[in-house]
Amino acid sequence: MNAASPILFDLDGTLLDTHDMILESMQYTINEVDGQNQNDEKLMAGVGTPLLDQMLHFTAGNKTRAEGLVNIYRAYNDAIHDENIHAFPGTKEALGMLAQAGCRMGVVTSKRHAMAQRGLEMSGLADHFQFLIGHDDWPEHKPAPGPILRGCELLGVAPRHCLYVGDSPFDIQAGNAAGCATAAALWGMFPCEALAAERPTLMCDSLTELADRLGI
C-alpha cells in the first residue's frame, strides 16, 4: 500500500466514537426493556455485525422477538444520537491529509445508511468520502466480503489495491475475505488480541499513524 491507495473505512469505532452511545442503547434494550442481565462485554460483543444478528443472539434465535428489540434499540439510539455523535480526536485532520495526498475514500458500515450519513455530516467528515455503503444498501453484510467488494467496485479498483480499515474482528474478516489489505484500528471498541487473531495487514494506534505508515 502507498500514499495514493484507495481506502475503505468502517464507521462506528473507526471514524466515529460511538462506544458509549451503543452501549447505553444496548443496556436499555436488552437489560431494561427485555429484562436480561447481560454484562457490558456480552452486550458489545457483536458490534460490527447487523443489528438483527446481534438481537437474535439475545433471543436464542427467536426472530419475531429479535425484530421487536431492533425497533426498540433504534428508537432509543435515534433519540440520543445527535447529542452523542462525534469523531475520534484527529480524525478530520488525518482524513484531510489522506485526501490531500490523493486517496479516494469510501465508507462501508453495518449501520443503516441514513443514520450513518447523518453521523458523518454532524461530525464534519462527510465531504471526505465519495460514497457510503450502509446495511440497507447491499444484501450481504460483514463479516461476508460483499459490501467491501462493492466498495472496491465503486472506487474502480481491484480489492488487492484497496485498504479496508476497521476496529472489529468482523471488519478484518470481511476485508481479508474480499482480498483487500486490512488495517486494524486499535483505538476502537475491540482489544488488540482479538484483532491480531484475524491477521490484519497493519495494526495502528491512530489514523495519523496510518497516514504516516502509508507515507503521507
Catalytic sites, residue numbers = 10
Find residue 108's DSSP bridge partners.
Answer: 133
Q: Which three cell numbers stand for residue 208?
A: 495519523
Pairing of strands 7-9, 105-108: parallel
64: which residues sit within 8 A by CB, 6+ positions away?
none
Closest CA to 107 of 98, 99, 116: 116
Round to whole Å and give the CA distance between 10 and 17. Answer: 12
The Cα angle at residue 23 between residues 21 and 29, in degrees rounded to 5: 105
Helix/strand/coil for 173: helix
**Ranges of H-type helices in 28-145:** 40-44, 51-58, 63-84, 91-100, 113-122
